[in-house]
Amino acid sequence: MKEKIIKIRDDEEYITLNIALKLADVIQTGGQAKIYLAENKVMVNDESENRRGRKLYPNDAVKTENILIKITK
């Protein structure tokens, strides 16, 4: 499984799931997140997730098909 680490900027408390998917090159644009989440299994901290606006904080982990995305500060 490929692993991507996404660092939240110092002036931000969290990022949203659609932005994390975009930064990890899972989707091309933030607008594709709705379709991607409807058609693919995405887990946030081992719980199924389909909300593109889900807030991700440091130490959260997102799992999708072949990628593990870790959120850091």
Global pTM value: 0.92
pLDDT reading at 61 higher than 90: yes
Per-residue pLDDT at 4 exceeds 90? yes
Q: What is the 3-state secondary structure (H, E, C) of 23-44?
A: HCCCCCCHHHHHHHHHHCCCEE
Q: By CB neighbour count within 10 A (0-12 exposed, 13-18 middle, 19+ buried), where does 49 fall? A: middle
**pLDDT tens readout for residues 19-57:** 999 999 999 987 899 999 999 999 999 999 999 999 999
Taking residues 4-16, report their average pLDDT: 95
